[in-house]
């Protein structure tokens, strides 16, 4: 795909970029190289290659499932304005 200076101006306007007229030829050439690279990547043979979530092998660092905090539910319930049967009572907000 050929990128001309009019296309570069339009892309710059859409991206809200200020581009000098002297930069247009260089930007057009760079955009053409980017599009050429995208075409090359699209033409690569990926048959038989399984998709992957991450390029590196990662292992989750598991830790032992151990209780580290004490049960303080009764202490927190005692701080509530109203509690009943181990539950916090709150005002009704929907009629």
Locate the domains of the chain by residue range: 5-42
Per-residue pLDDT of 14-67, as tens digits, reads 999 999 999 999 999 999 999 999 999 999 998 888 888 888 888 888 888 999
Per-residue model confidence (pLDDT) at position 56: 83
pLDDT higher than 90, residue 11: yes
CA dist., res. 21 & res. 51, Å (int)? 43
pLDDT higher than 80, residue 1: no
CA dist., res. 25 & res. 6, Å (int)? 10
pLDDT higher than 80, residue 95: no
Q: Give the residue ranges of DSSP H helices in 1-95.
A: 5-14, 24-42, 73-79
């Amino acid at each position: 795909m050929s990128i001309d200076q009019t296309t570069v101006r339009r892309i710059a306007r859409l991206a809200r970029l200020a581009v000098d007229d002297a930069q247009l030829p260089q930007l057009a050439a760079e955009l053409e190289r980017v599009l050429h690279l995208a075409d090359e990547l699209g033409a690569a043979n990926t048959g038989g290659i399984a998709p992957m979530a991450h390029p590196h092998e990662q292992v989750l660092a598991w830790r032992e499932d151990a209780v580290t905090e004490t049960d303080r539910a009764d202490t927190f319930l005692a701080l509530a304005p109203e509690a009943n049967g181990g539950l916090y009572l709150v005002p009704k907000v929907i009629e």
